[in-house]
A and B are shown apart, each in its own frame.
Chain A
Amino acid sequence: MYRYDEFDHAMVKDRVEQFRGQIARRMAGDLTEEQFRPLRLQNGLYLQLHAYMLRVAIPYGQLNAVQMRKLAHIARTYDKGYGHFTTRQNIQYNWPKLSQVADILDELASVEMHAIQTSGNCIRNTTADQYAGVTADEIEDPRIYAEIIRQWSTFHPEFTFLPRKFKIAVSGAVGADRAAVRFHDIGLFIVKNDAGEVGFEVWVGGGLGRTPMIGKKIRGFVAKADLLAYLEAVLRVYNMLGRRDNMYKARVKILVHETGTEEFTRLVEKEFEDTQGGALDLPAEEIDRIAAYFQPPAYEALSDDPPALTARRFEDKDFNNWVRVNVARHKAAGYAIANISLKPVGVPPGDVTADQMDAVADIAETFSLGGIRVTHEQNLVLPDVRQDQLYDLWLALREQGLADANLDHIGDIICCPGLDYCSLANARSIPIAERISQRFADLERQYDIGELRLKISGCINACGHHHVGHIGILGVDRKDQEYYQITLGGAPGEDAAIGTKVGAAFSAAEIVDAVETVVNTYLAIRQPKERFIDTFRRVGDAPFKESLYDKAA
Chain B
Amino acid sequence: MTKLLKDGKATTDPWTHVADGDDLPADGPVIVTLARWQAEHNSLAGRADGLGIRLESGQSPEAIKDDLARFAVVALEFPKFGDGRAYSHARMLKDRLGYEGEVRAVGDVLRDQYRAMHRCGFDALEIAGDRPADKLEADWRAALGELRHAYQPALRGPEPILRQRHRAAAA
Q: Which residues of A contact B (CB under 8 A)?
A: 5, 7, 10-11, 14-15, 17-18, 21-22, 35, 38-39, 121, 151-162, 228, 236, 239-240, 244, 274, 279-280, 283, 285-286, 289
Contacts and interface: CB of A to CB of B under 8 A. Distances in A.
Contacts of A151: 151-152, 161-162
Interface residues of B, number: 37
Interface in B36-81: 57, 60, 81
B165 A7 contact: yes
B91 A283 contact: no
B150 interface: yes
B147 A11 contact: yes
B147 A155 contact: yes
A158 B88 contact: yes
A286 B165 contact: yes
A286 B166 contact: yes
A35 B108 CA distance: 11
Nearest to B91: A158
Contact of B112 (A22, A162, A228): A22
B140 interface: no
B120 A158 contact: yes
A482 to B, nearest CB: 33
B41 to A, nearest CB: 25
B150 A162 contact: no
A7 B161 contact: yes
B147 A18 contact: yes
B112 A35 contact: yes
Contacts, number: 100
B146 A239 contact: no
A310 B151 CA distance: 50
Contacts of A17: 146
A117 to B, nearest CB: 12
Contacts of A160: 84, 87, 116
A279 B119 CA distance: 14
B96 A274 contact: yes
B18 to A, nearest CB: 26
A59 to B, nearest CB: 13
B104 interface: no
A156 B152 contact: yes
A226 to B, nearest CB: 14
A279 to B, nearest CB: 4
A11 B146 CA distance: 10
A152 B165 CA distance: 14
A121 B153 CA distance: 21
B164 interface: yes
Given A7-B164, A286-B162, A286-B166, A240 B60 contact: yes
B154 A157 contact: yes
Contacts of A274: 95-96
Given A7-B161, A151-B162, A279-B160, 9 more contacts: A11-B147, A18-B147, A35-B110, A157-B116, A157-B154, A161-B81, A244-B85, A285-B169, A289-B169
Given A35-B112, A151-B161, A240-B88, A161 B149 contact: no
Which of A39, A121, A244 is packed against the most chain B CB atoms within 10 Å?
A: A244
B88 A18 contact: no
Interface string B115-126: 111011000000
A468 to B, nearest CB: 30
B161 A18 contact: no
12 contacts: A7-B161, A38-B81, A153-B152, A160-B87, A161-B87, A236-B91, A239-B85, A240-B60, A244-B83, A279-B153, A283-B166, A285-B169
Contact of A159 (B84, B115, B146): B84
B88 A7 contact: no
Nearest to A30: B111
A279 B115 CA distance: 20
Nearest to A42: B112
- A-B pairs, top 8 by smallest CB distance, nearest first, are A161-B84, A157-B116, A279-B153, A157-B119, A18-B146, A7-B161, A158-B87, A151-B151
